[in-house]
Amino acid sequence: MDGWSIQEVSKKTGLSVHTLRYYERIGLMDYIARTDSGRRTYSEHDLEWLTLLTNLRSTGMAIKDMQHFAEMVRNGEATIPDRRKLLEAHQQKLEKQLEGIERTLAIMEKKISVYRSWEESLGTT
């Protein structure tokens, strides 16, 4: 058999079997090939697509946006500009989040430095 079972893909991707079935049911996955006995068999392309979906989801992309992106991919090359725009919008959102995180980290570094100084002056280090 070429490909991987749903359990193998679950282990490879860290996604639960339930999530893999859900992604298929809501249209995030193209048709998953089946064995003669009806078991799903995932291809290398499916794994690459799941990696992209996992990364998009882990960065906070909404499922509806992921569904729209998947639909555009299925609709072919004419949707490339729209796919790029969707990803650029998500990238801009992530950049703003990163800026906020960097500001918070800078504040934390200053506060930690203050506490270290206090500890040294009190002799508690």
Is residue 66 over pLDDT 60?
A: yes
Coil, strand or helix at 107: helix
- Distance of alpha carbon 3 from alpha carbon 42, whole angstroms: 5
Q: Tell me the pLDDT tens digit for each residue of 67-82.
A: 999 999 999 999 999 9
| Residue range 18-33: mean pLDDT, rounded | 95
| Separation between Cα atoms, residue 17 and residue 42, nearest integer Å | 12
| pLDDT for 98 beyond 90 | yes
Question: What local confidence, expressed as pLDDT, does residue 1 receive?
Answer: 52
Which residue has tokens 């980290």? 105
Residue 123 is predicted with a pLDDT of 85
- Bridge partner residues of 40 (DSSP): 34
Reported confidence tier of residue 119, pLDDT bands at 50, 70, 90 = very high
Where are the domains positioned within the chain? 6-74
Of 1.10.1660.10, 1.10.8.60, 3.40.50.670, 2.130.10.10, the CATH number of 6-74 is 1.10.1660.10
Place of tokens 């206090």: 118
